[in-house]
Amino acid sequence: MTNFQAIVLGLVQGLTELLPVSSSAHLALTPYLLGWQDPGLSFDVALHFGTLVALMWYFRAEWVDMTRSAFSIVRTRRVETVHDRRLVYLMVATVPAGVGGLLLNDLAKTTFRSPYIIGTTLILLGVLLWAIDKWSVRSRSIEEVTLRDAIIVGCAQVLALVPGVSRSGSTITAGRLLHLDRPSAARFSFLMSMPITVAAVLKEAPEALRAEGLSMPLLYGVIAAAVSSWLAITVLLRYVSKHSFGIFALYRVVLACVVFYTLATRGG
């Protein structure tokens, strides 16, 4: 892999990981469409370290508050404040994705990366996101998230193991279904992505390092992912404060059409 290819993949991962368009689909499709060798899931996950850095920096104040809450809960054995509850809910929401990842990891590395599956899931989740976002009542803020909400959104996150679904897409869609307003659905999605991203990086990064070594392409890819992830968070939170998720749903459908057209012209 060249430095240029790694930077392109890092930019793609960072921009699409936190937007509801599926980073795993883009990382699988980019080498396919450009005729590059697929670096594999381990390299893709290693790029998530850049996204992790961006998430920690952007939401640093909230993570500091929740860290204090963790010590408070251990000390008092009570959950009292908004940050206490949010910490517990994020932990609960992480469990389904962790279990799903252990059970479906092999399929995520092989069968699920099929362009046919990716194209289909891009369309299905795009239509679902558009429909739910359009007709959902926009009345609840992130402060009103309940334990039930966290469980439902956490279960939705499992679907993201299939490239094309999108972790942020599935969790934002679930949040809108539960009547969270758009910024709150996006913010909760971003916050709950950090624990599962940490777990994925710790699990897959050693394999990527064994395959690539601490190479310049890997380093460039991670830096590109960090910068583009921060940009994606900033842009999306500002955008959805005034606009719907419709543009992302449309993009998903258009991308799926490109995938199916390419498959048809290349003969699969």
pLDDT of residue 212: 59
268 has pLDDT over 60: no
Q: How far apart are CA 262 and CA 266, in angstroms?
A: 6
pLDDT of residue 226: 93
Q: How far apart are CA 9 and CA 47, in angstroms?
A: 8
Higher pLDDT residue, 206 or 244?
A: 244
Specify the 3-state DSSP secondary structure of 1: coil
Q: How confident is the model at residue 215 (pLDDT cuts 50, 70, 90)?
A: confident
Exposed e or buried b per residue across 199-229, where buried means at least 16 C-beta atoms within 10 angstroms of its C-beta: ebbeebbeebeeebeeeebbebbbbbbbbbb
Q: How far apart are CA 125 and CA 121, in angstroms?
A: 6
pLDDT of residue 26: 83
97 has pLDDT over 90: no
pLDDT of residue 171: 93
Higher pLDDT residue, 257 or 160?
A: 257
pLDDT of residue 44: 75
Q: Which has the closest alpha carbon to 120: 264, 261, 260?
A: 260
pLDDT of residue 112: 63
Mean confidence (pLDDT) of the chain: 85
Q: How confident is the model at residue 48 (pLDDT cuts 50, 70, 90)?
A: confident
70 has pLDDT over 80: yes
In the 8-state DSSP scheme, what is residue 113? G
Average pLDDT over residues 70-85: 88
Q: What count of other Cβ atoms lies within 10 Å of the Cβ of residue 194?
A: 17
Q: How confident is the model at residue 148 (pLDDT cuts 50, 70, 90)?
A: very high
229 has pLDDT over 90: yes
Q: First CA to last CA across the chain, in angstroms? A: 24
Average pLDDT over residues 99-104: 70
Alpha-carbon distances of 11 from 101, 220, 222, 268, rounded to whole Å: 24, 10, 9, 27
Contacts of 149 by beta carbon, 8 Å cutoff, 6+ apart: 89, 175, 178, 180
